[in-house]
Structure 1
Amino acid sequence: MEETYVYVLSWVCVVISIACQLVGIEICSKIIKKGAGDISPIPFFAFFISACWWLRYGFMQKISTVIMTNVFGAVLQFIYITIYYIYSMRKSHVRRLVSISLVLLFSPLIYTRFYQLDNKVATQQMGTLCIFVTIVCYASPLATLTTVVRTKSCDTISFPLCFMNFLCAVSWVVYGSVIDNSYLALPNCTGVILGVVQFGLFCLYPSSASRTTTSTSQI
């Protein structure tokens, strides 16, 4: 019975995580129609690095759920970054982010593969990095926080992304706790908290579309 529960829960995590990654399609459609504008590319880069690092950790720990989720995620984020670059007016800025991201991405992968000979220590180090990058990913929609406060609008933050991040965090907290893997559970606890913070921003500074809908309903 317990094995069935864990199996079902693992697939719930996979489905929600994939759905979370697909939210980027909504963001990219806006970019294609209106250009990148004030939309930050940082979430795309953060999620790409996260997917690659978690993929490495998944292979080290032989956790198929983590492997499946992050293969799909890495491919999608690469596509999103490509679309952002094509429609961005600040291509030099995106190229700098690509260079920084590649250094951040490959440094720990090379180190844990070729320089850290103790596999247990390498796994712990990779897991610690994954915790850090996951927290960054959950916080990445806040990259445009100054714009949100200045304009008093959450137009530059994707509500579907924040909502799916929250659901994703909750599912992985439960799964990580069930299989007793703190590397999966801990960063997603932070994700739940950051999700609540982002929901608070949408309450304080609703998007212009929401304000328009509210005003129309009052007429």
Structure 2
Amino acid sequence: MVKTNVTLLITINSFGCIAETIYVAIYFTYATKKARMKTLGLVLLLNFGVFGLILFLTQILCQGTKRAEVIGWICMAFSIIVFVAPLSIMGRVIRTKSVEFMPFNLSLALTVSAVMWFLYGLLLKDVYVAVPNISGMILGVLQMILYGIYRNSKSNNIATEKELPTVVKVDQEQPTKVNCEVYPVNISSLDSENGEGKDGKNLEDSQINSQV
């Protein structure tokens, strides 16, 4: 709205708006009611309240190139906040000595992206693009260094073991419980049906054993 020849900036941030909207929608779908209401408040405050206030004030109070400068500084502040946000994850990695919640591929991709956008801003002499990505490069490199330090930590092995299925161990020394109920058998009826003698006796034993 306030600057020309920014097709690349519009393209990437349009895609970002769509992707982030999908992320928030997924969160609303699976979050608890309490977390959903808290997040809804943040969405209304930031995405509508703060954005609407910025749009209104810059349109009313600023004119011409001054408007672009003010919006540029605001964009720079939000970009730095986005890059600084992973500091909480880095602190968690240091405390737990586990990189479970800080994938290396994500850190690498963010670092490469920050480098490319820094070069883009530098070539265009656009301070609002170049400066935030300096912090992105630094934090991305720090994340990869932390990953290299703690990737073989014992905490990672413990986290992996927690995901394994539980195996029930059977104590071989303890006897296995068996249903040992004995049911009464009418011997006379067996004799009358199967006859006397050796064959009848064996059959009688087999009948008794089969009902134990």
TM-score category (smaller protein): 0.5 to 0.7
1:139 has 2:84 as partner: yes
Matches of 1:88 and 1:170, distance apart in 2: 35
| Alignment partners' CA distance in 2, 1:92 and 1:191 | 31
Alignment partner of 1:107 is 2:50: no
Is 1:82 the counterpart of 2:25 in the alignment?
Answer: yes
Looking at structure 2, the residues matched to 116 and 206 of structure 1 have their Cα atoms a distance apart, in angstroms, of 51
> Is 1:71 aligned to residue 17 of structure 2?
no
8 Å contact kept, 1:141–1:162:
no
Distance in structure 2 (CA, Å) of the matches to 1:161 and 1:176:
22
146-155 or 72-81, which moves further after superposition? 146-155
Per-residue deviation, 1:169 = 0.7
Which of the residues 102, 109, 115 maps onto 1:170? 115
The answer for the alignment partner of 2:179 in structure 1 is: none
Match of residue 160 from structure 1: 105
Residues 101 and 158 of structure 1, relative CA distance in 2, 3 Å threshold: farther
| Pair member with larger Rg | 2
Look up the SS of the partner of 2:125 in the other structure.
Answer: coil
Task: List alignment gaps of at least 5 residues for structure 2.
Answer: 161-212
Q: Report the CA distance between 1:209 and its aligned residue.
A: 11
Aligned partners of 2:90 and 2:143 also within 8 Å = no
Which of residues 16, 31, 37 is equivalent to 1:92? 37
The one of the two structures with greater contact order (alpha-carbon pairs below 8 A, sep at least 6) is 1
Which protein is richer in helix relative to its size? 1
Q: Work out whether residues 141 and 158 of structure 1, in 8 Å CA contact, stay in contact via their aligned partners in 2.
A: no
How far residue 210 of structure 1 moved from its aligned partner, in angstroms, is: 9.8
Matching residue of 1:126: 71
Which is worse superposed, 169-178 or 155-164? 155-164
User: Normalising by the residue count of structure 1, what TM-score does the alignment of the two structures yield?
Assistant: 0.62
Contact in 2 for aligned 1:153/1:205 (Cα 8 Å): yes
- Normalised by the size of structure 2, how large is the TM-score? 0.64
Q: Percent identity?
A: 28
1:64, distance to aligned residue in structure 2 (A): 0.8
Name the amino acid aligned to 2:19. L
* Paired residue total: 157
Q: What one-letter code is carried by the residue in structure 2 that aligns with 1:68?
A: T
* Worse overlay, 161-170 or 146-155: 146-155
CA distance in 1, matches of 2:150, 2:36: 30
Aligned partner letter, 1:74: C
Q: Does structure 2 conserve the Cα–Cα contact (< 8 Å) formed by 1:155 and 1:208?
A: no
Across the aligned residues of Structure 1 and Structure 2, the Cα RMSD in angstroms comes to 2.9
Structure 2 letter corresponding to 1:125 = V
What are the ranges of 5 or more consecutive residues in structure 1 without an aligned counterpart?
Answer: 1-55
Which amino acid counterpart does residue 157 of structure 1 have in structure 2?
M
Select which of 127, 132, 135 maps to 1:190. Answer: 135
Distance 1:148 1:96, change over 3 A: farther
Distance 1:94-1:110 versus aligned 2 partners, 3 A rule: same
Tell me the secondary structure at the aligned position of residue 86 of structure 2.
helix
2:3 corresponds, among 43, 60, 79, to 60
